[in-house]
Amino acid sequence: MNDTNETVPERMGYGEAARFLGIATGTLYLWVFQKKIPHLRFGPRLVRFSRTELEAWMRARRVPCNADARNSSAS
């Protein structure tokens, strides 16, 4: 995730969203087609992504490492 959210717009096109996620644009096209990633569709070809929704989507898919699991069970 990008730490400088002030420079990342709230609504993004494919190129900006792919850079924000750190993935190839082709991968993003595929995920939209497969409905694997949140997006807004304004027509057959106009797709936008919400930075807030992408951040939440990434947080929901975070896989904790072993150190995280040990720290949460020690509490």
Residues 1-59 pLDDT 10s: 445 556 889 999 999 999 999 999 999 999 999 999 999 999 999 999 999 999 999 99
Q: Which helix (H) or strand (E) is 70 found in, with range?
A: helix 66-74
Could you tell me the two tokens for 41?
Answer: 């569709």
User: What residue ranges define each of the domains in the chain, with the CATH number in brackets?
Assistant: 5-62 (1.10.10)
Is 68's pLDDT higher than 90?
no
Name the E strands within the chain: 11-12, 40-41, 47-50
Rg of the chain over all Cα atoms, to the nearest angstrom: 15
- Torsion of Cα atoms, 49 then 62 then 8 then 39, to 10°: 0
Is 70's pLDDT higher than 70?
no
In the chain, the largest separation of any two C-alpha atoms, in whole Å, equals 50
Is 73's pLDDT higher than 90?
no
Global pTM value: 0.76
